Amino acid sequence: SYAGSATPSADAQMPDSSRDILLAVANPLAAPPARAGSSLIGYASSYYGAGQKAAARMDSIKQRYKLREVSAWPITSLGLYCAVLQPPPGVSRDELVSALADDEGVELVQPVQDFSVFSADASEQTTSLSGYNDPYVDMQRGFIDTDAASAQTVTQGRGVVIAVVDTGVDTNHPDLKARIRDVHDLGDDTPVTTS
């Protein structure tokens, strides 16, 4: 069960984004009532893009579970209002996610996952990247972590197919044009034509 009354340890009192959760609630935006002074999302001024029902639901969840909001935004195409929330000190993130998953007002809840994309310190590099033909290679953390420069001395990747899930791609970019086999928009389930 959810341990909302746990006593915080000294370590638990420090801010720690690795404890944050992502939570989404339904954000129905219905046509406004036919009366003067009304708006589509109502007047929930502290919630950018959230309807009154979503704002009330989010407030209720935050109060019940003693969560602090870090950031929030609407995903209009999915009818959701999302927030990154910080659990109270001393509360297990896994237990909290489990409790919230069973909460009737929650559409989606999951732990926030950190991904690092900045360059490694020079001392961490296993392969010399000086002379490499990409001026930004030292900013490509995955390139360094996987020691891709060494791998490229063996193969250049002919015949390799790579799938990338992302929020978008410039299919006309000179480095990508004619190299992209398929682009599919999962938001509205339509194929995207590439030139």
**Domain residues of the chain, as ranges?**
11-111
Q: Which DSSP category does 168 fall into?
A: -
| C-alpha span between 176 and 154 (Å, rounded) | 23
- Contact by Cβ (8 Å): 136, 111: no
C-alpha span between 110 and 166 (Å, rounded): 19
pTM of the model: 0.51
**Which of the following CATH numbers is that of domain 11-111: 2.60.40, 3.30.70, 3.10.450, 3.40.50?**
3.30.70
pLDDT digits (tens, 9 = 90+) for 32-64: 555 666 555 455 445 567 788 899 999 999 999
Average pLDDT over residues 6-19: 55
Determine the average pLDDT of the residues in 140-165.
75
Q: Which residue blocks in 36-126 are alpha helix, DSSP H?
A: 52-65, 93-101
Closest CA to 110 of 122, 96, 90: 96
